[in-house]
């Protein structure tokens, strides 16, 4: 029986694929949107836009990328002079549900209730909210779904009376990355998983064990949205035996996070 202690796998963190939209323009049936940071889009990407206006909102194929913070797509409409988008909109790539407009906000006892028609969200979904309100804008886990048109998030701060608002939310794509797959005809004893944050800003991570590579469900998670401080690392002592084709998957909200897994393969 062969047994070798070694590094089983190493991967870098992933990041969510949403961008805020700060400016819009339309000339000769070509829409140009400006994002708040480098968008990373390429020609041919499918992007969903929401919270801009009825002309620009929708799902489109990226036609060109003039700069790292602008992209274009075909949109038949009268010309629209370049103008700021306020509050900002959302552009999301390869996400099943994204760019959904928010029409009302309400906050009581640190719980914000947002109205978004047919939002399709579930408790535990991760969303990015951009409604021009600094007390609510940001990334959250959905804590409640009172109705098909409302959802709640935890947002500390003063209460806000129910009031109409603009803006949108994007459901963030939680793409798990494979850290390690147990080879066929092999079992593996995982001793340690390390998580390193090479940025000064804290980041969150998730670790899951998917038996035989099964689709992710809640009971697979070993850690869920745990935090690694900036410029720091942690090591988790696992001590678990995995069967052939079991998969260890990870997720982070920062590309500055890296993962390492260590243990012994037994064949």
Does pLDDT of 2 surpass 80?
no
In this predicted structure, the answer to whether residue 257 has a pLDDT above a threshold of 90 is no
Please, which pLDDT band fits residue 126 given cuts at 50, 70 and 90? confident
pLDDT of the residue at 86: 80
pLDDT at position 139 is 76
What is the distance between the alpha carbons of residues 209 and 212, in angstroms, rounded to a whole number?
A: 9
The CATH code that applies to domain 3-14+175-266 is: 2.60.120.340
pLDDT value at 166 more than 80: no
- The dihedrals phi and psi of 103, each to the nearest 5 degrees, come to -110, -15
User: pLDDT grade, residue 97 (50/70/90)?
Assistant: very low
What is the maximal distance between C-alpha atoms in the chain? 73
d(CA 84, CA 81): 10
Does pLDDT of 34 surpass 80?
A: yes
| CATH architecture of structural domain 18-91 | Beta Barrel (2.40)
Residues 218-255: tens digit of each pLDDT: 789 999 889 999 899 999 999 899 999 999 999 886 77
* Bridge pairing between strands 3-12 and 257-266: antiparallel
Query: Any idea where the domains of the chain sit in the sequence?
Result: 3-14+175-266, 18-91, 100-171
Predicted confidence at residue 256, as pLDDT, reads 80
Does 100-171 match 18-91 at the fold level?
A: yes
Residue 16 has pLDDT above 70, yes or no: no
The answer to whether 142 and 112 have CB atoms below 8 angstroms apart is no
More confident residue, 11 or 183: 183
pTM: 0.52
Task: Tell me how far apart the alpha carbons of residues 99 and 134 are, in angstroms, rounded to a whole number.
Answer: 19
**Higher-pLDDT residue of 126, 107:** 107
Question: For residue 169, what pLDDT is reported?
Answer: 79
Question: Residue 95 pLDDT > 60, yes or no?
Answer: no
DSSP string, 114-153: EE-TT----TT-EEEEESS-TTT-EEEE--EEEETTEEEE
- What's the whole-number mean pLDDT along residues 89-104? 68
Class of domain 100-171 as given by CATH: mainly beta
pLDDT beyond 70 at 104: yes
């Amino acid at each position: 029986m062969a047994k070798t202690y070694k590094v089983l796998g190493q991967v870098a963190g992933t990041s969510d694929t949403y961008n805020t939209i700060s400016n819009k323009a339309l000339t000769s049936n070509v829409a140009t949107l400006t994002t708040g940071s480098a968008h990373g889009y390429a020609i041919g990407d499918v992007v969903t836009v929401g919270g801009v206006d009825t002309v620009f909102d929708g799902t489109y194929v990226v036609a060109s990328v003039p700069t790292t913070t602008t992209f274009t797509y075909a949109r038949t409409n009268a010309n629209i002079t370049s103008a700021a988008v306020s509050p900002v909109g959302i552009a999301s790539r390869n996400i099943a549900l994204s760019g959904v407009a928010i029409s009302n906000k309400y906050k009581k006892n640190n719980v914000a209730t947002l109205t978004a028609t047919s939002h399709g969200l579930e408790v535990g979904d991760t969303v990015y909210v951009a409604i021009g309100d600094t007390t609510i804008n940001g990334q959250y886990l959905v804590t409640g779904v009172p109705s098909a048109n409302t959802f709640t998030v935890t947002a500390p701060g003063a209460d806000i009376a129910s009031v109409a608002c603009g803006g949108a939310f994007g459901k963030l794509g939680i793409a798990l990355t494979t850290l390690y797959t147990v080879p066929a005809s092999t079992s593996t004893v995982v001793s340690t998983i390390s998580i390193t944050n090479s940025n000064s800003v804290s980041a969150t991570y998730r670790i899951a064990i998917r038996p035989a590579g099964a689709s992710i469900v809640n009971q697979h998670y070993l850690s869920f949205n745990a935090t690694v401080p900036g410029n720091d690392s942690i090591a988790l002592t696992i001590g678990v035996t995995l069967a052939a084709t079991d998969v260890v998957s990870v997720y982070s909200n920062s590309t500055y996070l890296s993962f390492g897994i260590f243990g012994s393969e037994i064949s």
